[in-house]
Structure 1
Amino acid sequence: MAKVLYTASMSLDGFIAGPGGDMSWLAEYFSPNPIIADLIDGIGALLVGKKTYTGDDPNKGREGEGKAFGGGWDGPQYIVTHHVPADQEPNLFFVTDLADGLAQAKEAAGDKYVNVLGANLAHQLLESGDVDEILVSIAPVLLGDGTPLFRQPGGRNVKLERTHDSTAPLANNLWFKVKY
Protein backbone atom coordinates (compact mmCIF):
# COMPACT_ATOMS: atom_id res chain seq x y z
CA MET A 1 0.00 0.00 0.00
CA ALA A 2 1.30 3.44 -0.92
CA LYS A 3 2.51 5.83 1.77
CA VAL A 4 1.84 9.55 1.53
CA LEU A 5 4.96 11.74 1.71
CA TYR A 6 4.94 15.55 1.82
CA THR A 7 8.23 16.86 0.42
CA ALA A 8 9.43 20.43 0.18
CA SER A 9 12.53 22.53 -0.06
CA MET A 10 12.43 25.25 2.56
CA SER A 11 14.35 28.33 3.61
CA LEU A 12 15.81 28.28 7.11
CA ASP A 13 13.03 30.65 8.22
CA GLY A 14 10.34 28.19 7.11
CA PHE A 15 9.19 29.31 3.66
CA ILE A 16 8.77 26.95 0.69
CA ALA A 17 8.02 29.81 -1.72
CA GLY A 18 8.96 33.46 -1.52
CA PRO A 19 6.57 36.42 -1.68
CA GLY A 20 3.94 36.00 -4.38
CA GLY A 21 4.82 32.32 -4.80
CA ASP A 22 8.32 33.10 -6.12
CA MET A 23 10.37 29.93 -6.53
CA SER A 24 13.38 31.46 -8.31
CA TRP A 25 15.28 31.57 -5.00
CA LEU A 26 15.52 27.79 -5.04
CA ALA A 27 17.53 27.48 -8.28
CA GLU A 28 20.69 28.68 -6.54
CA TYR A 29 20.45 25.71 -4.17
CA PHE A 30 20.12 22.96 -6.75
CA SER A 31 22.97 20.55 -6.25
CA PRO A 32 23.30 16.80 -5.98
CA ASN A 33 21.27 15.63 -3.00
CA PRO A 34 21.59 11.87 -2.48
CA ILE A 35 18.44 11.54 -0.38
CA ILE A 36 16.34 13.14 -3.13
CA ALA A 37 18.06 11.11 -5.83
CA ASP A 38 17.26 7.91 -3.91
CA LEU A 39 13.70 9.04 -3.21
CA ILE A 40 12.83 9.62 -6.87
CA ASP A 41 12.88 5.89 -7.62
CA GLY A 42 10.49 5.35 -4.71
CA ILE A 43 7.80 7.74 -5.98
CA GLY A 44 4.87 6.11 -7.74
CA ALA A 45 2.60 9.14 -8.19
CA LEU A 46 2.40 12.85 -7.42
CA LEU A 47 -0.54 14.58 -5.76
CA VAL A 48 -0.21 18.26 -6.57
CA GLY A 49 -2.10 21.37 -5.51
CA LYS A 50 -3.37 23.68 -8.24
CA LYS A 51 -1.24 26.64 -7.06
CA THR A 52 1.87 24.48 -7.14
CA TYR A 53 0.99 23.08 -10.56
CA THR A 54 0.35 26.50 -12.15
CA GLY A 55 2.83 28.45 -10.02
CA ASP A 56 6.39 29.59 -10.48
CA ASP A 57 8.86 26.94 -11.67
CA PRO A 58 12.31 27.01 -10.03
CA ASN A 59 13.62 25.46 -13.27
CA LYS A 60 12.29 28.33 -15.38
CA GLY A 61 14.59 28.89 -18.34
CA ARG A 62 16.55 25.71 -17.62
CA GLU A 63 16.49 22.17 -18.85
CA GLY A 64 13.73 20.39 -16.96
CA GLU A 65 11.38 23.37 -16.90
CA GLY A 66 7.80 22.27 -16.30
CA LYS A 67 8.81 18.77 -15.25
CA ALA A 68 8.66 17.12 -11.84
CA PHE A 69 12.02 17.18 -10.04
CA GLY A 70 13.47 19.09 -12.99
CA GLY A 71 12.83 16.14 -15.29
CA GLY A 72 14.26 13.58 -12.88
CA TRP A 73 10.89 11.88 -12.38
CA ASP A 74 8.13 10.87 -14.75
CA GLY A 75 4.81 9.26 -13.94
CA PRO A 76 1.18 9.94 -13.08
CA GLN A 77 0.39 13.30 -11.53
CA TYR A 78 -2.97 14.04 -9.91
CA ILE A 79 -3.73 17.76 -9.84
CA VAL A 80 -6.41 18.83 -7.33
CA THR A 81 -8.36 21.77 -8.74
CA HIS A 82 -11.84 23.29 -8.89
CA HIS A 83 -11.44 23.92 -12.64
CA VAL A 84 -10.61 20.89 -14.78
CA PRO A 85 -9.16 21.91 -18.16
CA ALA A 86 -10.81 20.50 -21.28
CA ASP A 87 -7.51 19.32 -22.73
CA GLN A 88 -5.55 16.78 -20.72
CA GLU A 89 -1.98 15.69 -21.24
CA PRO A 90 -0.67 12.15 -20.78
CA ASN A 91 0.06 11.28 -17.14
CA LEU A 92 -1.76 14.40 -15.89
CA PHE A 93 -5.08 13.75 -14.19
CA PHE A 94 -7.17 16.65 -12.91
CA VAL A 95 -9.47 15.86 -10.00
CA THR A 96 -11.94 18.08 -8.16
CA ASP A 97 -12.11 16.08 -4.93
CA LEU A 98 -9.06 15.67 -2.71
CA ALA A 99 -10.12 12.30 -1.25
CA ASP A 100 -10.79 10.94 -4.73
CA GLY A 101 -7.46 12.29 -6.02
CA LEU A 102 -5.62 10.73 -3.09
CA ALA A 103 -7.30 7.37 -3.69
CA GLN A 104 -6.40 7.47 -7.39
CA ALA A 105 -2.81 8.49 -6.65
CA LYS A 106 -2.44 5.70 -4.07
CA GLU A 107 -3.74 3.14 -6.53
CA ALA A 108 -1.35 4.38 -9.22
CA ALA A 109 1.60 4.45 -6.80
CA GLY A 110 1.17 0.81 -5.76
CA ASP A 111 3.73 0.11 -3.03
CA LYS A 112 5.67 3.34 -3.71
CA TYR A 113 5.14 6.84 -2.33
CA VAL A 114 2.45 9.31 -3.25
CA ASN A 115 4.51 12.49 -3.16
CA VAL A 116 2.47 15.54 -2.10
CA LEU A 117 3.52 18.90 -3.53
CA GLY A 118 1.92 22.08 -2.23
CA ALA A 119 1.51 23.57 1.25
CA ASN A 120 -2.27 23.96 1.18
CA LEU A 121 -2.81 20.42 -0.08
CA ALA A 122 -0.40 19.04 2.53
CA HIS A 123 -2.21 21.00 5.26
CA GLN A 124 -5.57 19.49 4.25
CA LEU A 125 -4.07 16.00 4.19
CA LEU A 126 -2.44 16.49 7.60
CA GLU A 127 -5.82 17.61 8.96
CA SER A 128 -7.49 14.47 7.61
CA GLY A 129 -4.72 12.21 8.96
CA ASP A 130 -3.54 11.14 5.53
CA VAL A 131 0.14 12.18 5.55
CA ASP A 132 2.47 9.40 6.67
CA GLU A 133 5.84 11.14 6.34
CA ILE A 134 7.41 14.55 5.74
CA LEU A 135 10.78 15.21 4.08
CA VAL A 136 12.16 18.74 4.17
CA SER A 137 15.38 19.91 2.53
CA ILE A 138 16.47 23.10 4.26
CA ALA A 139 18.38 25.60 2.13
CA PRO A 140 20.81 28.02 3.78
CA VAL A 141 18.82 31.18 3.06
CA LEU A 142 16.36 33.43 4.91
CA LEU A 143 13.48 34.60 2.68
CA GLY A 144 11.66 36.73 5.26
CA ASP A 145 8.21 36.17 3.78
CA GLY A 146 6.27 33.82 1.54
CA THR A 147 4.44 30.52 1.76
CA PRO A 148 5.23 28.66 4.99
CA LEU A 149 5.81 24.91 5.09
CA PHE A 150 2.83 24.56 7.42
CA ARG A 151 0.39 27.15 8.68
CA GLN A 152 -2.30 26.47 11.25
CA PRO A 153 -4.20 29.62 12.24
CA GLY A 154 -4.62 29.59 16.00
CA GLY A 155 -1.91 26.97 16.31
CA ARG A 156 -2.00 23.21 16.44
CA ASN A 157 0.71 20.72 17.18
CA VAL A 158 1.42 17.96 14.71
CA LYS A 159 3.73 15.46 16.41
CA LEU A 160 6.63 14.17 14.35
CA GLU A 161 9.26 11.49 14.87
CA ARG A 162 12.57 12.07 13.10
CA THR A 163 13.52 8.98 11.13
CA HIS A 164 16.48 10.31 9.16
CA ASP A 165 18.69 13.33 8.74
CA SER A 166 21.50 14.00 6.32
CA THR A 167 23.51 16.77 4.78
CA ALA A 168 23.92 17.53 1.09
CA PRO A 169 26.24 20.19 -0.35
CA LEU A 170 23.56 22.91 -0.25
CA ALA A 171 20.84 21.49 2.02
CA ASN A 172 20.15 19.73 5.28
CA ASN A 173 17.53 17.01 4.97
CA LEU A 174 15.11 16.08 7.73
CA TRP A 175 12.72 13.12 7.32
CA PHE A 176 9.88 12.57 9.77
CA LYS A 177 7.09 10.11 10.44
CA VAL A 178 3.80 11.87 11.31
CA LYS A 179 2.46 10.74 14.71
CA TYR A 180 -1.34 11.10 14.85
Structure 2
Amino acid sequence: MTDVGLGSGKVVVNRAMSLDGFIAGPDHAMDWVGEYLPPDAFPEIMAATGAMLVGRNTYEVARRMAPQDTTYDGGHQFVLTHEPPDDPAPGVTFLTCDLEEAVATARGAADGRNLEVLGADLAAQCLRRGLVDEILVYVVPVLLGDGVRFSPPGLGRIDLEPFDNTQAGAVTVLRFRVRK
Protein backbone atom coordinates (compact mmCIF):
# COMPACT_ATOMS: atom_id res chain seq x y z
CA MET A 1 0.00 0.00 0.00
CA THR A 2 1.29 3.44 -0.84
CA ASP A 3 1.10 6.73 1.07
CA VAL A 4 -0.95 6.11 4.20
CA GLY A 5 -0.78 9.70 5.29
CA LEU A 6 1.50 9.24 8.31
CA GLY A 7 1.95 12.64 9.92
CA SER A 8 -0.56 14.34 7.67
CA GLY A 9 -3.43 14.55 10.14
CA LYS A 10 -6.18 13.75 7.65
CA VAL A 11 -9.80 12.91 8.45
CA VAL A 12 -10.42 9.47 6.96
CA VAL A 13 -13.67 7.53 6.67
CA ASN A 14 -12.50 3.95 7.11
CA ARG A 15 -14.74 0.94 6.59
CA ALA A 16 -15.06 -2.60 5.41
CA MET A 17 -17.80 -3.17 2.83
CA SER A 18 -19.39 -6.21 1.25
CA LEU A 19 -19.39 -6.33 -2.53
CA ASP A 20 -23.10 -5.42 -2.51
CA GLY A 21 -22.47 -2.21 -0.56
CA PHE A 22 -23.15 -3.10 3.09
CA ILE A 23 -20.89 -2.15 5.99
CA ALA A 24 -22.89 -4.27 8.44
CA GLY A 25 -25.30 -7.12 7.94
CA PRO A 26 -28.82 -7.51 9.31
CA ASP A 27 -29.06 -6.47 13.00
CA HIS A 28 -25.73 -4.64 12.55
CA ALA A 29 -23.86 -7.97 12.31
CA MET A 30 -20.15 -7.43 11.70
CA ASP A 31 -18.81 -10.95 12.32
CA TRP A 32 -18.11 -11.39 8.60
CA VAL A 33 -15.45 -8.64 8.71
CA GLY A 34 -13.15 -10.63 11.00
CA GLU A 35 -13.19 -13.54 8.59
CA TYR A 36 -11.33 -11.40 6.04
CA LEU A 37 -9.73 -8.60 8.06
CA PRO A 38 -7.90 -9.69 11.20
CA PRO A 39 -7.00 -6.80 13.55
CA ASP A 40 -3.38 -6.79 12.37
CA ALA A 41 -4.15 -6.93 8.63
CA PHE A 42 -2.97 -3.40 7.80
CA PRO A 43 -0.42 -2.25 10.40
CA GLU A 44 0.61 0.76 8.30
CA ILE A 45 -2.92 2.15 8.46
CA MET A 46 -3.10 1.67 12.21
CA ALA A 47 0.32 3.33 12.57
CA ALA A 48 -0.99 6.34 10.64
CA THR A 49 -4.06 6.58 12.89
CA GLY A 50 -3.89 8.73 15.99
CA ALA A 51 -7.55 8.77 17.06
CA MET A 52 -10.99 7.53 16.10
CA LEU A 53 -14.31 9.33 16.11
CA VAL A 54 -17.06 6.76 16.36
CA GLY A 55 -20.83 6.98 16.15
CA ARG A 56 -22.78 5.72 19.14
CA ASN A 57 -24.39 2.82 17.26
CA THR A 58 -21.01 1.65 15.97
CA TYR A 59 -19.59 1.86 19.48
CA GLU A 60 -22.45 -0.25 20.86
CA VAL A 61 -22.05 -2.86 18.10
CA ALA A 62 -18.31 -3.12 18.81
CA ARG A 63 -19.01 -3.39 22.52
CA ARG A 64 -21.44 -6.29 21.93
CA MET A 65 -18.91 -8.02 19.69
CA ALA A 66 -16.07 -7.76 22.21
CA PRO A 67 -17.46 -6.65 25.59
CA GLN A 68 -14.11 -7.10 27.31
CA ASP A 69 -12.31 -4.82 24.82
CA THR A 70 -14.16 -1.69 23.71
CA THR A 71 -11.05 0.20 22.62
CA TYR A 72 -9.51 0.12 19.17
CA ASP A 73 -5.83 -0.02 18.34
CA GLY A 74 -6.14 3.28 16.47
CA GLY A 75 -5.32 5.66 19.30
CA HIS A 76 -7.78 7.38 21.57
CA GLN A 77 -11.45 6.69 20.88
CA PHE A 78 -14.11 9.39 20.94
CA VAL A 79 -17.82 8.58 20.69
CA LEU A 80 -20.18 11.33 19.55
CA THR A 81 -23.56 10.91 21.19
CA HIS A 82 -26.57 12.77 22.53
CA GLU A 83 -26.57 10.61 25.67
CA PRO A 84 -23.36 9.27 27.22
CA PRO A 85 -23.78 5.88 28.92
CA ASP A 86 -23.95 5.53 32.67
CA ASP A 87 -21.06 3.05 32.54
CA PRO A 88 -18.49 4.46 30.10
CA ALA A 89 -15.72 2.12 29.05
CA PRO A 90 -12.20 3.02 30.14
CA GLY A 91 -10.18 4.80 27.47
CA VAL A 92 -13.29 6.05 25.65
CA THR A 93 -14.29 9.71 25.70
CA PHE A 94 -17.95 10.50 25.06
CA LEU A 95 -18.60 13.85 23.38
CA THR A 96 -21.96 15.64 23.38
CA CYS A 97 -20.81 18.70 21.43
CA ASP A 98 -21.57 19.64 17.83
CA LEU A 99 -19.93 17.74 14.97
CA GLU A 100 -17.26 20.31 14.07
CA GLU A 101 -16.12 20.54 17.70
CA ALA A 102 -16.03 16.73 17.99
CA VAL A 103 -13.85 16.45 14.87
CA ALA A 104 -11.54 19.21 16.14
CA THR A 105 -11.25 17.57 19.58
CA ALA A 106 -10.46 14.15 18.13
CA ARG A 107 -8.01 15.61 15.59
CA GLY A 108 -6.20 17.35 18.43
CA ALA A 109 -5.85 14.02 20.25
CA ALA A 110 -4.55 12.37 17.05
CA ASP A 111 -1.34 14.35 17.51
CA GLY A 112 -0.65 14.98 13.82
CA ARG A 113 -1.74 11.54 12.66
CA ASN A 114 -5.00 10.60 10.94
CA LEU A 115 -8.43 10.74 12.54
CA GLU A 116 -10.58 7.81 11.45
CA VAL A 117 -14.34 8.26 11.34
CA LEU A 118 -16.38 5.09 11.92
CA GLY A 119 -20.14 4.70 11.54
CA ALA A 120 -22.41 5.23 8.54
CA ASP A 121 -24.45 8.11 9.93
CA LEU A 122 -21.49 9.92 11.50
CA ALA A 123 -19.43 9.55 8.32
CA ALA A 124 -22.33 10.90 6.23
CA GLN A 125 -22.66 13.92 8.53
CA CYS A 126 -18.93 14.59 8.22
CA LEU A 127 -19.05 14.21 4.43
CA ARG A 128 -22.05 16.57 4.14
CA ARG A 129 -20.16 19.25 6.06
CA GLY A 130 -16.94 18.89 4.09
CA LEU A 131 -14.94 17.56 7.05
CA VAL A 132 -13.54 14.42 5.36
CA ASP A 133 -10.26 14.31 3.42
CA GLU A 134 -10.20 10.65 2.37
CA ILE A 135 -12.29 7.49 2.19
CA LEU A 136 -10.64 4.12 2.70
CA VAL A 137 -12.71 1.05 1.81
CA TYR A 138 -11.84 -2.61 2.28
CA VAL A 139 -14.06 -4.45 -0.22
CA VAL A 140 -14.66 -7.94 1.15
CA PRO A 141 -15.67 -10.79 -1.19
CA VAL A 142 -19.06 -11.49 0.31
CA LEU A 143 -22.64 -10.56 -0.58
CA LEU A 144 -24.69 -9.77 2.53
CA GLY A 145 -27.99 -9.02 0.79
CA ASP A 146 -29.22 -6.69 3.52
CA GLY A 147 -28.01 -4.57 6.40
CA VAL A 148 -26.45 -1.13 6.86
CA ARG A 149 -25.55 0.53 3.55
CA PHE A 150 -22.23 2.26 2.94
CA SER A 151 -24.04 5.59 3.09
CA PRO A 152 -27.52 6.41 4.31
CA PRO A 153 -30.20 7.73 1.94
CA GLY A 154 -30.05 11.46 1.36
CA LEU A 155 -26.28 11.85 1.54
CA GLY A 156 -26.21 13.63 -1.78
CA ARG A 157 -23.43 13.67 -4.32
CA ILE A 158 -19.85 13.64 -3.08
CA ASP A 159 -17.15 13.68 -5.77
CA LEU A 160 -14.12 11.50 -5.15
CA GLU A 161 -10.69 11.12 -6.72
CA PRO A 162 -9.25 7.59 -6.62
CA PHE A 163 -5.58 7.56 -5.67
CA ASP A 164 -4.75 4.01 -4.61
CA ASN A 165 -6.06 0.48 -4.95
CA THR A 166 -4.38 -2.68 -3.82
CA GLN A 167 -5.19 -6.32 -3.36
CA ALA A 168 -4.36 -7.87 0.01
CA GLY A 169 -5.35 -11.52 -0.10
CA ALA A 170 -9.08 -11.68 -0.80
CA VAL A 171 -9.62 -8.01 0.13
CA THR A 172 -9.48 -5.12 -2.34
CA VAL A 173 -8.44 -1.84 -0.72
CA LEU A 174 -9.72 1.34 -2.39
CA ARG A 175 -8.63 4.84 -1.42
CA PHE A 176 -10.22 8.10 -2.50
CA ARG A 177 -9.61 11.77 -1.84
CA VAL A 178 -12.76 13.80 -1.27
CA ARG A 179 -12.93 16.65 -3.76
CA LYS A 180 -13.73 19.88 -2.02
User: Normalized against structure 1, the TM-score is what?
Assistant: 0.86
Shift of residue 4, structure 1, vs aligned partner: 0.3
CA displacement at 1:156 relative to structure 2: 2.3
Q: Give the AA of the match of 2:26.
A: P
Tell me how far apart the structure 2 counterparts of residues 30 and 65 of structure 1 sit (CA, whole Å): 17
In 2: Cα distance, 1:168 partner to 1:113 partner: 21
Provide the secondary structure at the position in 2 that maps to 1:151: coil
State the distance in 1 between where 2:64 and 2:85 align. Answer: 24
Q: Could you tell me whether the CA contact under 8 Å between 2:50 and 2:74 is conserved in 1?
A: no
Matched, 1:14 2:18: no
Query: Match for 1:44 among 42, 50, 53?
Result: 50
What are the equivalent positions in structure 2 for 1:66-81 lying under 5 Å apart? 66-68=70-72, 73=73, 75-81=75-81
How far apart in 2 are the matches of 1:32 and 1:23? 13
- Residue 5 (structure 1) aligns with: 12
Evaluate the alpha carbon distance shift between residue 74 and residue 157 of structure 1 in structure 2; reply closer, same or farther with a 3 A threshold. Answer: closer
Instruction: Give ranges in structure 2 of 5+ residues lacking alignment.
Output: 1-7
Equivalent residue, structure 2, for 1:53: 59
Which digits, 9 at most, give the CA deviation of each residue in 1:129-165, with x for residues without a partner? Answer: 0010000000000001111111233x62211001110
CA distance in 2, matches of 1:19, 1:94: 26
Q: Please, what is the CA RMSD of the aligned residues?
A: 2.3
Report deviation, 1:108: 0.8
Q: CA deviation at 1:103?
A: 1.1
Aligned length: 172
Matches within 5 A, 1:15-164: 15-31=22-38, 36-56=42-62, 60=66, 65-68=69-72, 73=73, 75-97=75-97, 98-153=99-154, 156-164=156-164
Q: Spell out, residue by residue over 1:93-141, the C-alpha distance to the aligned partner (whole angstroms, 9 max, x if none).
A: 1001222211110111121100111010000000000010000000000
**Distance change >3 Å, CA 164–CA 33, structure 1 → 2:** farther
Q: 1:86–1:174: structure 2 CA closer, same or farther, 3 Å change rule?
A: same
Q: 1:3, CA displacement in angstroms?
A: 1.2
How far 1:57 sits from its partner (Å)? Answer: 6.0
Structure 1 residues 57 and 143, CA gap change in structure 2 (3 angstroms): farther
